[in-house]
Structure 1
Amino acid sequence: RYPGGNFVSAYNWEDGIGPQSERPTRLDLAWRTAESNQVGIHEFARWAEAANTEMMLAVNLGSRGLDAARNFVEYVNHPGGTYWSDLRRKNGQADPWNVKLWCLGNEMDGPWQVGHKSAAEYGHLANETAKAIRSFDDKLELVVCGSSHSDMPTFPQWEATVLDESYDQVDYISLHMYFMNYEKNTREYLALPEKLDRYIGSVSGVIDYIKAKKRSKKDVKISFDEWNVWYHEREADEKRMKEWDWPHAPVLLEDVYNFEDVLQVGCILNTFIRRSDVVRIACIAQLVNVIAPIMTEPGGAAWKQTIYYPFQFASCFGRGTALALDVDCARYNADVAADVSYLDIAGVHDDDAGTLTFFAVNRNGEEPMTIDLALERFGEAKSVEHTLIKHENLEAANTKDNPENVKPVKQDGATLTNGRVSLTVPPYSYSMIRVTL
């Protein structure tokens, strides 16, 4: 997803094209930095190709609007013979990128957003922008802005108003959520995915309501295109931003993640898998250094943060059809939710690979847990593999000098008997269980 994020709401996409030596430096109002525009759409597209990932582009509906959006789409996707497409060719990209996914702004419900609008104002602008760029290509998939988080005072009325304006022109509504543990209360922290689940369920209900109201045959899905743990450096960063004088590429939002965050990210990903009937897109924010699973030093080392591993496992092995699991286990009550299952688990069946994969978090910090998986309906299973992430210190982190302090380790002890898998996992642990059929 490029170029953001809060950044996009004051971004001129034209600043990021043409010779890099001639690109202007602008003030980034979102993060109080100087933006040199050395990375633009061409550089991002080359990175996406190298990373073998699909581009999801965002247009600026904060400080700009429909006209800039349609020009950007033409620059990116039109073959040639027009001003913007020929300029792309002149700048070294002969073929269009044919980007399918487009975000209609970012977090427009947020008063912090440049060009913040009311739901009615934004819904109208998003609808008109969508109609304009759909006239260019009616197969584009468009994402309208939902709430920045579920504690916004305008939630969920924002979703209802925006979708009432734009339902027939959009394919997704975006949601964002970040997870914090300022109170250092692990039980409450690990219950937050229950709040995430309610958030998704509430917006799904709003979608159904607007669909029924409009007598529409179209389904709108959820794009959860910003999520992560974010709090470790947040207060210090906010203080620094108030004091600094528009630096270029400063160290910012470089949270160092710990083992406790492994458990949280595992639960978040499990929620998305269980809700994949309506959540069709989910983008971690971000990828490198900035609240990211990968940390680097300029000109130096790169290493995997603790949260890299549950994200890697879900990305690589969370493929196929999500399973509706009937979970029977002990539960606890938290302030954010009642009846929280100590076992947070999601499963997928990959028919092509002939595998079942389960991602399990033991949210009980006191007791080990025996997991018994009844898989008889899938026929005779051939083998089972258990990978565990566990550390005795919840605050354990990976660093440049100790990059494998927290890492996955394959385990012995999982048994497979008559279509049932049994294994015991330690307190506060993350497990991936893979069954070959």
Structure 2
Amino acid sequence: MTHTARFTLDPAFTVGESGPRLFGAFVEHLGRCVYTGIFEPDHPAADEAGLRTDVLDLIRELGVTVIRYPGGNFVSGYKWEDSVGPVAQRPRRLDLAWRSTETHRFGLSEYAGFLRKLGPQAEPMMALNLGTRGVAETARAMRRVDPGVELVACGSSSRAMPTFAAWEATVLAETYDLVDHVSLHASYEEQDGDRGSFLASAVDMESFIEDTVATCDYVGARLKSTKRITLSFDEWNVWYMSRAQAEAAAAPQDWPEAPRLLEDHYSVTDAVVVGSLLIALLRHADQVAVACLAQLVNVIAPILTEPGGPAWRQTTFFPFAQASRYGRGQVLDVRVDSPTYDTAKYGEVPLLHATAVRDPRSGAVTVFAVNRSQDAALSLEVALYGLGVTRVAGHSALADADPEARNTLDAPDRVLPHEVAGTVLQGGTLRATLEPLSWHLIRLV
């Protein structure tokens, strides 16, 4: 049985502007993200700086903008002085966060060179160690050096923390006039075979965003401030943390360099969830100023590499790359009328999760959509008003008969987006069929 979902697009009803910073990523000195990931001087494809050019090409294709560095947990014991100056004189340190040895062969100057190689779209975002060092009145000190610096305050970060909202309010009460954004972190995984709830993970992400905005607005109201704090969702992804815990228990105890940690291999199902999380971020583009996929290479990442060998795209690479390319512009307000299904975690959830973005220069409209049904196609009808588009320029989908299909070293192109036939725009209505468990991009011009 095929169900039908509907919504209306009208340029008079918008969410806000989606900027490039919504498509950031995260590089941490964790596992093989840096060493044998982006940096491998002995690799056949390495450039003069030791950066893997095959990985650089994939990162550019991915469309990453802001890159947060150097952690994460790693930054909790980080001394930036260790990572500057002549490489041969940099100290080796035991990294207590990830029980590894850090060589500092890749440091702050190498990170800056990495950003330059990626091009002008790549912005730095530095995480600061305020755990084991730092000055009092940190934000004020940084603003004296650079009045234009943008600052992110960290509260509980996770909605699952018992201190969530209360601690955010406490931190913001002290820093409201000094910071620009507040940090959010969230990761999702399929647990106990509950795929229905996993596919609805964006329900939690959207609630998390809305609850944090409410907390910021509450503090602003208490302070009688006209300033608006926005959000930095600077760690988000699908992450099989239960696997990571088992991995940690079995990890070697000899403090290795760049061990294989958190190298999740993502399926089609994972890619659909990542696409849905991207939709959630776009649907709140007026509130989320920065977002960083955690992480970029090898560690819970859209790109995998082998030391001395190839690099390839995971399934999650494709929705991110498509959203980064076509998701910048005016986000239209989408209110779906969709059949629902029952989930153990979130109750009744719409089968359709969708948003749309209008390019202000060309007028082209891109519809991003996910069908959460695991076994049934979903008919989509979109009524268009005042947008000036006349035809379907393309309809791309990511889906597979095997929801566990993955891209691997031996089969790096097992899962690829495919073109969908039969999608039409007639009489002001877009009609398409969304196959089960799928991510979609529909271009209208």
TM over 0.5: yes
Output aligned runs, 1:104-253, within 5 Å: 128-231=137-240, 233-241=243-251, 243-253=252-262
Distance 1:176 1:389 in 2: 26
Distance 2:245 2:368 in 1: 32
Q: Secondary structure at the match of 1:59?
A: coil
Query: Taking structure 2 as the reference length, what is the TM-score of the superposition?
Result: 0.82
Q: Output the amino acid matched with 1:143.
A: V
Which stretches in structure 1 are left out of the alignment for 5+ residues? 67-124
Q: Secondary structure at the match of 1:339?
A: strand
Question: Contact (CA 8 Å) 2:392, 2:425: kept in 1 or not?
Answer: yes
Is 1:317 the equivalent of 2:326? yes
Distance 1:175 1:240 in 2: 30
Pairing partner for 1:410 from 396, 399, 419 = 419
Distance 1:370 1:321 in 2: 25
Q: Give the 4+ runs in structure 1 shifted more than 3 A.
A: none
Please give the per-residue CA displacement for 1:301-358, whole angstroms capped at 9, x wherever unaligned: 1110010000111111111011101211101232322331100111111111321111
Give 1:388's aligned residue.
Answer: 397
Is 1:55 the equivalent of 2:55? no
Distance 1:315 1:256 in 2: 22
Length, aligned pairs only: 375
Question: Contact (CA 8 Å) 2:392, 2:423: kept in 1 or not?
Answer: no
Q: Secondary structure at the match of 2:250?
A: helix
Question: Contact (CA 8 Å) 2:302, 2:314: kept in 1 or not?
Answer: yes
Q: Secondary structure at the match of 1:141?
A: coil
Distance 1:333 1:280 in 2: 32
Q: Output the amino acid matched with 1:61.
A: L
Is 1:27 the equivalent of 2:97? no
Is 1:429 the equivalent of 2:438? yes
Name whichever of 325-334 and 375-384 sits farther off: 375-384
Pairing partner for 1:271 from 270, 277, 280 = 280
Give 1:331's aligned residue.
Answer: 340
Distance 2:156 2:428 in 1: 44
Shift of 1:247: 0.7
Give 2:370's aligned residue.
Answer: 361
Question: Contact (CA 8 Å) 2:389, 2:444: kept in 1 or not?
Answer: no
Q: Output the amino acid matched with 1:236.
A: A
Q: Secondary structure at the match of 1:31?
A: coil
Distance 2:342 2:159 in 1: 21
Identity %: 44
Distance 1:412 1:191 in 2: 27
Please give the per-residue CA displacement for 1:287-307, whole angstroms capped at 9, x wherever unaligned: 110110000000101110010
Question: Contact (CA 8 Å) 1:382, 1:435: kept in 2 or not?
Answer: yes
Q: Secondary structure at the match of 1:298?
A: coil
Q: Output the amino acid matched with 1:205.
A: A
Shift of 1:421: 1.1
Give 1:5's aligned residue.
Answer: 72
Distance 1:50 1:380 in 2: 37
Give 1:90's aligned residue.
Answer: none
Shift of 1:161: 0.5
Instruction: Describe the shift of the 1:372–1:245 C-alpha distance in structure 2 as closer, same or farther (beyond 3 A).
Output: same
Distance 1:368 1:181 in 2: 22
Q: Output the amino acid matched with 1:57.
A: M
Pairing partner for 1:15 from 76, 79, 82 = 82
Between 1 and 2, higher relative CO (CA 8 Å, sep ≥ 6) is seen in 2
Question: Contact (CA 8 Å) 1:263, 1:430: kept in 2 or not?
Answer: yes
Question: Contact (CA 8 Å) 1:384, 1:435: kept in 2 or not?
Answer: yes
Is 1:37 the equivalent of 2:46? no
Q: Secondary structure at the match of 1:226?
A: strand
Question: Contact (CA 8 Å) 1:146, 1:159: kept in 2 or not?
Answer: yes
Pairing partner for 2:349 from 336, 340, 343 = 340
Distance 2:91 2:348 in 1: 55
Q: Secondary structure at the match of 1:178?
A: strand
Q: Output the amino acid matched with 2:250.
A: R
Q: Output the amino acid matched with 1:55.
A: P
Question: Contact (CA 8 Å) 1:380, 1:418: kept in 2 or not?
Answer: no
Pairing partner for 1:377 from 381, 386, 390 = 386
Distance 1:192 1:370 in 2: 22
Which structure has greater helix proportion?
1
Q: Secondary structure at the match of 1:357?
A: strand
Please give the per-residue CA displacement for 1:122-167, whole angstroms capped at 9, x wherever unaligned: xxx5xx1001111112211000113232111111111010101111
Question: Contact (CA 8 Å) 1:376, 1:418: kept in 2 or not?
Answer: no
Distance 2:391 2:197 in 1: 39
Distance 1:216 1:363 in 2: 41
Distance 1:337 1:347 in 2: 24
Question: Contact (CA 8 Å) 1:379, 1:419: kept in 2 or not?
Answer: no
Q: Output the amino acid matched with 2:269.
A: E
Q: Output the amino acid matched with 2:71.
A: G
Please give the per-residue CA displacement for 1:258-311, whole angstroms capped at 9, x wherever unaligned: 111011101100000001111110000111101100000001011100100001
Question: Contact (CA 8 Å) 1:147, 1:176: kept in 2 or not?
Answer: no
Which stretches in structure 2 are left out of the alignment for 5+ residues? 1-67
Instruction: Describe the shift of the 1:416–1:131 C-alpha distance in structure 2 as closer, same or farther (beyond 3 A).
Output: same
Instruction: Describe the shift of the 1:433–1:380 C-alpha distance in structure 2 as closer, same or farther (beyond 3 A).
Output: closer
Q: CA RMSD in A?
A: 1.2
Distance 2:196 2:261 in 1: 29
Distance 2:332 2:354 in 1: 10
Shift of 1:380: 4.2
